[in-house]
Amino acid sequence: MAPLVLAATRARADARLKVVASFSVLADIVKNVGGDHIELTTLVGPDGDAHVFEPTPTDAKAVAEAAVVFVNGLGLEGWMDRLVQSAGYKGPVVAATTGVKPRIMAEDGNTVTDPHAWQDLGNGRLYVANVAAALAAADPGDADDFRKAAATYTAAIDAKDEWVRAELTAVPAGRRKIITSHDAFGYFGAAYGISFLAPEGVSTEAEPSAAGVARLVRQMRSEGIKIVFFENMASPKLVQALAADAGAKVGGTLYSDALSPPGGPADSYLKMFDNNVPQLKAAMLGM
Ligand SMILES: [Zn+2]
């Protein structure tokens, strides 16, 4: 390679856009759109809980050096404002859920917003569009590549959405009930027609009340719900206790708020559905 070409290649590699994504699911979406044009730092990694996170000085440094910071928004990352402030970051903080119709609900007398919008693949399309627009604004020279990558990835999301719907058509209406440890599947349930119940609310920050757990056990018994699911990023204790109290069994592990480590059963946003949907289907059909 001629020295001039080599120098140009280096300059191009050096010019990779530094971006930060708050948690692993969003990071996978950002990676799919940004490709080789970005240098990506993920704050809450595989199997991590994005509701409760204590950033380190290394995280603050990554934020300080970023050209764009991507968050889910809708209240998922309660720790992010402080991190941005302490890092002295002045760039854009882009909420991937911009344009999502939020699920707003009552929880223990409070109005809460459900942040788990990625569990509806229809919302995944919006995440991709928001990420592509923000990357193009930060790096206009590569905007064409971001647009093309977003189109390819959106087609894969659409195909997965159709697959999920097809997989679940076999489940009769009366059996479409699933128990998890926290309320992470509200958007999934609304999109694909399943009721999800959980002893914990839309955040893992608060412990469930004993009265709430007892109420759920009564409901499980009266409605014949015999299977509960672990979530990869939550403690298994709550689900084990619930299963014991209600005479139910544990159906497996759903990936809710975080991906698996690379090589695991849900190491991408789309593979999360590959892991979760067959388990949900089998549990509901076996009820
Ligand atoms: Zn959650």
pLDDT digits (tens, 9 = 90+) for 155-206: 999 999 999 999 999 999 999 999 999 999 999 999 999 999 998 899 988 8
pLDDT digits (tens, 9 = 90+) for 138-154: 999 999 999 999 999 99
pLDDT digits (tens, 9 = 90+) for 246-265: 999 998 999 999 999 999 99
CA distance 148 to 132: 9
Sign of the alpha-carbon torsion through 111, 116, 121, 123: positive
- Collapse the DSSP code of 23 into the 3-class scheme (helix H, G, I; strand E, B; otherwise coil) and give the result: strand
Residue 200 Cα to ligand 1 midpoint, Å, equals 10
Residue 36 Cα to ligand 1 midpoint, Å, equals 30
Residue 85 Cα to ligand 1 midpoint, Å, equals 24
**pTM for this entry:** 0.93
Residue 15 Cα to ligand 1 midpoint, Å, equals 35
For the chain, percent of residues with pLDDT exceeding 90: 82
Residue 270 Cα to ligand 1 midpoint, Å, equals 18
pLDDT digits (tens, 9 = 90+) for 80-92: 999 999 999 999 9
The contacts found for 148-151 with CB under 8 angstroms, 24 or more apart, are 149/32, 149/33, 149/34, 149/35, 150/33
CB within 8 Å of 101: residues ≥ 6 apart: none
HSE-CB at 212 with a 13 A cutoff on CA atoms is 15
pLDDT at 7 (0 to 100): 52
Alpha carbon of 237 to those of 51, 181, 242, 244, 254: distances in Å?
Answer: 18, 9, 9, 11, 15
